[in-house]
Amino acid sequence: MTIPTVSHYREAPRDPGWSGTEYPAIGGLDRRFGPPAMRFRALAAHRDPSRMSAREMTELSLALYLDGLLRFDEYALLAVQPELHPDFNRTIGAITGQTADPDRPRDFIRIWAERLDFEHRHAGGETAVLRRLEGILAVLRHLCAREPVGA
22, 34, 49, 95 from 145: Cα distances, Å: 30, 20, 10, 35
Q: Nearest 5°: phi and psi at 107?
A: -95, 95
Strands (E), the chain: none
Identify the weakest region by mean pLDDT among 71-75, 97-101, 122-126. Answer: 122-126
**Domain extents in the chain:** 36-145
Tell me the mean pLDDT in the region 32-39: 54
Identify the weakest region by mean pLDDT among 39-43, 96-100, 118-122. Answer: 39-43
Question: Residue 149: is its pLDDT beyond 70?
Answer: no
> Across all residues in the chain, what is the average pLDDT?
74
105-144 tens-digit pLDDT:
999 999 999 999 999 888 776 788 899 999 999 989 888 8
Distance, in Å, from the CA atom of 30 to the CA atom of 68, rounded to the nearest integer, reads: 14
Question: Residue 78: is its pLDDT beyond 90?
Answer: yes
pTM comes to 0.68
Q: Nearest 5°: phi and psi at 124?
A: 65, 40
Question: Residue 32: is its pLDDT beyond 50?
Answer: no
- pLDDT exceeding 70 applies to what percent of the chain? 66
Contacts of the segment 79-83: beta carbons below 8 A, 24+ positions apart = 81/54, 81/55, 81/57, 83/54
pLDDT-based confidence at 35, cuts 50/70/90?
low
